Homo-oligomer: A and B are copies of this chain.
Amino acid sequence: MAGFVDATKVAPVADGEWSAELDGQWAVMGRPNGGYLAAVLARAAIASIDAAHPHPLATNAHYLNPPSPGPATIVTETLRRGRSVSQVRTRLIQDGTPCVEGVFTLGRLAPDAEPVWSVEAPPVLPPPQECRLMIPRPSPTVTVEILEVIEQRLDPAVLGHLRGAPDGGGEIRGYVGFVDGTDFDPLGLLFAADALPPASLTVGASGWVPTLEYTVYVRALPAPGPLKVRQRARLIQQPGWMVEECDVWDSADRLVAQAIQLASVRFS
């Protein structure tokens, strides 16, 4: 079982080309998780500019074809190297098939950055021990491999759908930590902001919600400890496209990541 840092590492192959080993543990139903893939691309993007700007301020990923666990190639292209930010394009390729296209604005976050202005407040959660620990094999046909490597404790108030009674709120919230005790870094946040079950479950949608596009802004360096994560459906429109946002606070209640995604939703 590879920790998050090992599972996202990339090795240089040639100028602008990197190899990665996609880890089957950082997956859902056998497919590498979208936030995990974004983190692998981010690692290559940062390495491609010699870590001059080590943090992904803005991440966009478009999911083209789902890769399988195993070897993959990442190509990187520097779009612009600037003083305060650099911009890098990336592509994950497996067996000649483009799988994920990612574009990054990279910069440097200050350890002591404080909000100048904010409307955001962390979710009010029960203590972790009163939250429900999510398990990797909730039914014989479902495997959520990432739940072997992350500890996900969700607010029971929003889990009515697990008893067949969705609460209709469009929101899922809880705590996320790495099982091996690793603290989150900015790349870990790219994963954490796509690690909760889809909020559409709370409004009666069926489970499988493939992400088409995922955008994440990392806003601050997270303090050690588990994260508070809140995922909200904003609008689900016929024929089944959802815009869902995800906000992430660190253990000091600082907003450290803001994400949004377009996903495909089915109602059974």
Interface residues of A (CB under 8 A from B): 57-58, 60, 62, 64-65, 79-80, 84-85, 87, 89, 98, 101, 103, 105, 107, 110, 113-120, 170, 200, 203, 212-213, 215, 217, 219-220, 232-241, 243, 255, 258, 260, 262, 264-265, 267
In Å, the complex CA distance between A232 and B258 comes to 14
Chain multiplicity (copies): 2
- Chain A interface, DSSP helix/strand/loop, else mixed: strand
Q: Is the CB of B80 within 8 A of A65?
A: yes
In Å, the complex CA distance between A236 and B115 comes to 6
Chain B nearest CB, measured from A96 CB (Å): 13
Which B residues lie within 8 Å of A267 (CB)?
116
Q: Is the CB of B118 within 8 A of A89?
A: no
A85, A219, A234 — most chain B CB neighbours (10 Å): A234
Q: Chain B: which residue is nearest A238 at the CB level?
A: B113
Q: Is the CB of A114 within 8 A of B238?
A: yes
